[in-house]
Amino acid sequence: MIKFLFKRLLLTVPTFVALMFITFLMIRLVPGDPIEVRRGERGISPERLEILRHEMGLDQPIWKQFGDYVWGIFHGDLGTSVISKTPVLHEFLTLFPATIELSFFAMLIAAGLGIPAGVFAASKRGSVYDQSLMGIALTGYSMPIFWWGLILVLFMSNTLHLTPVSGRTDLIKYFYPAVTGFATIDSLISGQKGAFADVLRHLILPSIVLGTVPMAVIARMTRSAMLEVLEEDYVRTARAKGLSAWRVIGVHALRNALIPVITSIGLQVGTLLAGAVLTENIFSWPGVGHWLTESIARRDYPALQGGILLIASIVIMVNVLVDLTYAAINPRIRYGK
Amino acid sequence: MVSETISLPKPRGAFASFWNSFSENRGAVIGFYVVLAIVFIAVFAPILAPYNPLEQFKGATRLPPFWIHGADSKYWLGTDAVGRDMTSRLMYGARISLFIGLSVMLVSMVLGVILGLASAFYGGIVDVIIIRVMDLIMAIPSLVLEILIIAVTGPSLLNTVIAITIVYLPRYVRLLRASAIAELSKDYVTAAKVSGVGKLRLMLVTVLPNCTAPLIVQAALGISDAILEASGLGFLGLGAQPPTPEWGAMLADTRDLMQSHPWVMALPGLCILITVMAINLMGDGLRDALDPRLRKS
Amino acid sequence: MKTLKLFGAVLLLGTILGSTAEAKSLVYCSEGSPENFTPAKNTTGTSLDAARPVYNQLVQFTPGTTQVEPGLAEKYEVSADGLTITFHLRKGVKFHSGVNGFTPTREFNADDVLFSFNRQWKDDHPFHKVSGGAFDYFNDMGMPDLLASIEAPDPMTVVMKLKTPNAPILANLSMDFATIQSAEYADFLMKKGTPEQFDQIPVGTGAFSFVDYQKDAVIRFKANPDYWGGKQKIDDLIYAITPDATARYAKMKAGECQIMNVPNPADLEAMGKDDTINLMSQAGLNIGYMAMNAQKPPFDKVEVRKAIAMAIDRDAILKEVYQGAGQKAKNPIPPTMWSYNNDVKDIPYDPAKAAEMLKAAGITSLDTDLWWMPVQRPYNPNAKRMGEMVQADLEKVGIHAKLVSYEWGEYRKRAQAGEHQMAFLGWTGDNGDPDNFLAVLLGCNKEGKPNGNNIPKWCNTKFQEDISKAAASADPAERTKLYMDAQVIVADEVPWLNIAHSTVFEPVSKKVTGYKVSPLGSHVFVGVDVAE
């Protein structure tokens, strides 16, 4: 097992190196540089442009810039944003909790609704319930989420006033320092009455929007996994022995059916982060998705390099974890390919 | 035709059995007909559309569709912010979405098949490089990678297709590689190898046809995913450029009218949803029909 | 929520903050995060707005106008030759106490003024290089060429010597880049080893002191009890950062903010009808135009440029793109600016005549490009939509325009290099002087080469003579005459099509009193109150 872990981790090293190189190179291939973007219609004289480029180190040869960048990474320095002049790591860490929080609640909704729906649909296979649940799941799976988000805001917030429009907290009523960056935890630490409920209210709509596609995927997957398990001999035996349907489905079948579902949740981290870009855009959510798209627009090289590197590392690490879980469950993988 | 049917009864039989099990699935059949209708609209848009999708009718801007008060019967789905007929734009939009979906699917499938087979057959360093590159692509959130690629190449329809193709490549490569590796261990391949069949022939003639079922399913779902992805990019203003009537871009262009004229935004979104859903329904049917393991259960 | 609550964690911030239901809060829905909190380093309205509550300048604009009034300088004198300006500083002005662990030991004096200007001016100043040496406005306004010296003969007097007389200097010094920051705070941070915090956590003399900033979420200020202009009626000033205009309006409707920036033109109608919203407006100091590259045939011909201008239905553009939030432009300078020539005849919309004129010029069919900016600007709320409309108009007279766009910085650079044939762009004025429009946007150098900001790449000797003479003159009457004359030349030559001067609209809750919309597009919250 240790050997497998070591091998798996070793394999990620070239991926990381390539990742560093590619993000570095691609961002510099984007036309326009951060100084000119910042200047807008006012423009800049070539002499001053040279001075500022020199100051930012943009006039150095590419290989030197790359060298400095890699050198920095090995010293835990991801560089400093050219726009805000704050360290990229610091900026990432202030924004990332918002994204994690949103993704976590989206996943909670997705799994909390998707798994029961899948189990129920499988147990009533072919019935009206099954068909309508799977119809809903298919709709969710096919949903353009940016459109879905806008429609929900339009109805839930603007027309019915059920949920707040955007943001993470009610800024007038509550103010607490961002100790952890997770608004749910910070609101609890602050001890202010109603603050936690307020945070949840703000989370509802964005979580539903971001959770819609994973929810559909989970529901569909749970259903087919359940159907497969229900066909297995031990379930049939249990049924034949006269165990109640609920006991058969709830205890025996579900436990086995959930294994592929849970691993698929792990693999959805990348999808969630991509969805977060659009969701954060719609709900003015102060997360990394929004930050990355803005950094591209502003040609904030260090922010973009660092941000993509960090996010990709997380995705890679989660994938390694999923592989390890698999290997732990299924020894064949370890010794096979 | 008749003689062909007689002389080649077997393929027809395979197709008939496929069609039998496909048509068992009511949803799949509905999906199939909806897709057919959309393809029909896309192909015959110049004949079906009441107006030129680019023509601006002065004084007829932001008209609502027929069921809302204030509509003009000349434009039954209303007009957009500069007075272009929505019906016509949505019809032409079907062309663009299908074009994106199909071209992404075709290119990424062909490349995916080549890379996946190469990876499975040659193994060693070729395999490692291909798989590492695919891992790399998958490690960056798809939308961020696409935005980056388009930022480098400049926003256009073609570059949208390129960006999405790159992002979707790993799915096909991994699928093909896995299926091919599974096939390679089977007896018929060993037999073919022993009888001296060339590597290329082994790859394309012996192994590939046995990987087609999952490939077709993946391709069908790939079309709908590509359409969704492209509309997301269009929404961020990075897809098709004006005045192209791409659904996602139409949505983005009218985002400022969301509160005052919500229908302008509702219609393109609905078109995306219906198209994607129909293709997915069809894809589900295909999977059930082509994958015998699932068919039985 | 009746009791005043204190939180332990707040001590980490080095400040003690209170939150009670009774505290009066004003929430402003802003459009983005600031780059930092030092105005001298910033150029975007978003960043300047974010720092403004904290700071003052020596002289300042009276809210809602471009008039200059005393600020941190109680009074000032300009010498007869216009070369020396003496500022007498206000006494008893205190810097904010308790922000970022800093407690000032002295009141505001000349050291702070010298520090603030020298930081931008002198390369060897210890804070010049801190968080990058880009002091854009200081350079843009020509300060390095203009300043001879800045000295403090005594702690309460600052003497500024100029190399040449410059009439708009006081207006320029009212701009945000001339903000006065604390020299003592700078020393404090330097000793602490964290000089870069100087631009992140601001300490000033303004009506509000900085409390907290969470990127992309919120900026908080609280009223400065010791403000030299008197303590403000609102206790907490909150910037709710909301990049999407639709979301800002929705928040406004839900009472989540009281003032919002940059509304969607499409929503103005509904806002006007809303009982709870006071839709304030102010003619903007700007111009949106479509340049025709005079160095590229056939746009080198006046008749062609005129014909194209005639083919474009600007009334439709004003209706669909500005949606009423603007007025049709006939001159390059806005009508609120002095020397505006109202006698200039506007170009009529006449596609038939345009086609005729084009035919006379030998053009029946022409392939060209039309550039649209990828961003929303105050003078052009939707260049893409405008492009689509102009494209359709031009098609009718046989001109096939291809819509082209680049990323914003690239767009500006390529347009400056003259790669375009037709391009949209515009300008927002910095100080109310016509020179800031005519010379910057249509001027050429001595060799007859167009300036960088001259996007039509158009040079005219007579026009150039007029504006050069006007810039050198100190006589307002003479200047007015020359600028009026220059506008006639522009109207005859049509280097660009004047499209519109946009109106700045700001929806403000009816509960808010004392708020004034600035023609310069800035947001000032001094003197504002909120009714319960």
- State yes or no: cis peptide before C298, omega within 30 of 0: yes
- What number is the average pLDDT over the span C400-416? 84
Across residues C345-359, what is the average pLDDT?
A: 94
CB contact under 8 Å between A43 and C427, yes or no, is no
Residues A28-60 have pLDDT tens digits of 887 777 777 776 666 677 777 888 788 777 888
pLDDT category, C177, cuts 50, 70, 90? very high
Q: Is the pLDDT of residue B71 over 50?
A: yes
> Residue C517: is its pLDDT beyond 70?
yes
Provide the 8-state DSSP code for C319. Answer: I
Nearest CA to B165 out of B212, B118, B225, B215 is that of: B225
The predicted pLDDT at position C291 comes to: 95
Query: In this structure, are residues B183 and B211 in contact, taking their beta carbons and an 8 Å threshold?
Result: yes
Specify the amino acid at residue A301. Y
In the structure, what pLDDT confidence band is assigned to residue C164 with cuts at 50, 70 and 90?
confident
Q: Measured between alpha carbons, how far is residue A136 from residues A62, A114, A264 in Å?
A: 51, 11, 20
Query: Which residue from B55, B98, B97 is spatially nearest to B80, judged by alpha carbons?
Result: B55
Which residues sit opposite C210 in a β-bridge? C221
Cβ of residue C217 closer than 8 Å to a chain A Cβ: yes
Which DSSP letter does residue A250 get? I
* pLDDT score of C407: 74
Contact indicator for C94, C226 with CB cutoff of 8 Å: yes
pTM recorded for the entire structure:
0.85
pLDDT of residue A40: 65
- For an interface test with C, which of B255, B259, B261, B263 has the most C Cβ atoms less than 10 Å from its Cβ? B259
Cβ within 8 Å, pair A150-B255 = yes
Which chain C positions have a beta carbon within 8 Å of A40's beta carbon? Answer: 43-44, 375, 408-409, 412
| Nearby residues of A304 by Cβ (< 8 Å), 6 or more positions away | A23, A27, A292, A295, A296, B148
- Closest C-alpha to A72, from A18, A24, A142: A24
This complex has an ipTM of 0.84
Backbone angles phi, psi at B129, to 5 degrees: -60, -50
Residue A1 near residue A334, CB atoms below 8 Å: yes
Greater confidence, C276 or C374? C276
Question: Out of A61-70, C111-120, C201-210, C313-322, which region has the weakest mean confidence (pLDDT)?
Answer: A61-70
pLDDT band at C324 (very low <50, low <70, confident <90, very high): confident
Of B28, B30, B21, B88, the C-alpha closest to B54 is B88
Q: What are C501's strand-pairing partners?
A: C327
Residue B237 and residue C245: Cβ atoms within 8 Å?
no
**Chain A, 220-239: which have a CB under 8 Å from a chain B CB?**
224, 227-228, 231
What is the DSSP-derived secondary structure letter of residue C289?
Answer: E
Average pLDDT (C287-298) is 94
Question: How many Å lie between the alpha carbon of C155 and the closest alpha carbon of chain A?
Answer: 33
3-state secondary structure of B129: helix
- Across the range C319-326, mean pLDDT stands at 87
In this prediction, residue C465 has a pLDDT band, given cuts at 50, 70 and 90, of very high
Which of A233-247, B4-18, B262-276 has the weakest average pLDDT? B4-18
Per-residue pLDDT of A171-207, as tens digits, reads: 888 888 888 889 999 999 888 888 999 999 999 999 9
Average pLDDT over residues B172-188: 86
Rounded Cα distance between A70 and A72, Å, is 5
Euclidean distance between the first and the last CA atom of chain B, given in angstroms as a whole number: 37
Q: Is the pLDDT of residue C49 over 60?
A: yes
pLDDT of C299 > 90? The answer is: yes
pLDDT, one tens digit per residue, over A226-253 is 888 887 777 777 777 777 777 777 777 7
Digit-coded pLDDT (tens) for B131-149 = 888 988 888 888 888 988 9
State the Cα–Cα distance between residues C480 and C339, nearest whole angstrom. Answer: 5
Cα–Cα distance measured from residue A282 to residue C256, given in angstroms and rounded to the nearest whole number: 17
Instruction: Choose the closest CB to C316 out of B58, B155, B241.
Output: B58
Residues A24-29, mean pLDDT to the nearest whole number? 83
Closest CA–CA distance from residue C357 to any residue of chain A (Å) = 33
Nearest Cα residue to A314 out of A261, A286, A285, A276: A276
Q: What percent of chain B has pLDDT over 70?
A: 93
Q: What is the pLDDT of residue B8?
A: 44
Per-residue 3-state assignment (H helix, E strand, C coil) for B175-189:
HHHHHHHHHHCCHHH
Instruction: Over range C456-483, report the average pLDDT.
Output: 88
pLDDT band at residue C241 under the 50/70/90 scheme: very high
In the beta sheet, which residues pair with residue C278? C508
Specify whether the CB–CB gap between B297 and A231 falls below 8 A. Answer: yes
Instruction: Enumerate residues 6+ apart whose C-beta is below 8 A from C56.
Output: C71, C72, C179, C180, C204, C205, C206
| Nearest Cα to Cα of residue A274 among C216, B283, B279, B225 | B225
Q: Taking a C-beta distance cutoff of 8 angstroms, is the pair C105, C188 a contact?
A: no
Chain A residues touching C253 at Cβ < 8 A: 158
Residue A166 and residue C250: Cβ atoms within 8 Å?
A: yes
Closest CA to C265 of C382, C373, C374, C375: C382
Judged by a CB distance cut-off of 8 A, whether residue C235 touches chain A is: no
Site from A146, A161, A212 to mutate, B interface, most B CB atoms within 10 angstroms: A146
Of A86-95, B63-72, C18-27, C165-174, the range with the highest mean pLDDT is A86-95
Q: How confident is the model at residue C133 (pLDDT cuts 50, 70, 90)?
A: low
* Residue B295 pLDDT greater than 50, yes or no: no
Residues A258-266 have a mean pLDDT of: 75
CA of B3, closest CA in chain A: separation in Å? 42
Measured distance CA(A183)–CA(A24) in Å, rounded:
33
Question: Which chains does C contact via 3+ CB–CB distances below 8 A?
Answer: A, B
Token pair, residue C483, equals 């600028």
Q: Note the pLDDT of residue A295.
A: 83
Q: Is B165 exposed, middle or buried (0-12, 13-18, 19+ CB in 10 A)?
A: buried
Q: Give me the residues of A, 316-335, that contact B with CB < 8 A.
A: 316, 319
The reported pLDDT for the residue numbered C5 is 36
pLDDT at C9 over 70: no
d(CA A166, CA A163): 9
Structure tokens at B94: 């079907």
| Average pLDDT of the residues of chain B | 85
Q: Which CA distances in Å does A92 have to A102, A287, C123?
A: 15, 9, 32
CA–CA separation, C8 vs A30, rounded Å?
A: 46
pLDDT bracket for residue A1 (50, 70, 90)? low
pLDDT exceeds cutoff 80 at A79: yes
Q: Which chains touch A (3 or more CB pairs under 8 A)?
A: B, C
CA distance C147 to C159: 11
pLDDT tens column, B98-142: 999 999 999 999 999 999 999 988 888 999 889 888 988 888 888
- Name the band, by pLDDT with cuts 50, 70 and 90, for residue C396: very high
Query: Nearest Cβ partner of B61 from C246, C267, C320?
Result: C320
State residue C22's pLDDT score.
66
pLDDT band at C127 (very low <50, low <70, confident <90, very high): very high
| Residue C160 DSSP SS3 | strand
pLDDT for res A311 = 87
The distance from CA A287 to its chain's CA centroid, rounded to whole angstroms, is 10
pLDDT band at A337 (very low <50, low <70, confident <90, very high): very low
What radius of gyration do chain A's Cα atoms show? 24
Helices first, then strands: H and E counts in chain B: 14, 0
Measured in degrees and rounded to the nearest 5, phi and psi for residue C236 equal -120, 130
Label the pairing between strands C218-223 and C236-241. Answer: antiparallel
Residues of C in contact with B255 (CB under 8 A): 246
Structure tokens at C111: 């050291």
What pLDDT digit, counting tens, does each position of C99-110 carry? 999 999 999 999
Q: If pLDDT is split at 50, 70 and 90, which confidence band does A332 have?
A: low
Tell me the C-alpha distance between B3 and B6, whole Å.
5
Residue type, C372: W
- pLDDT computed for residue A335 by the predictor: 46
Please tell me the predicted confidence (pLDDT) of residue C1: 35
pLDDT of residue B292: 56
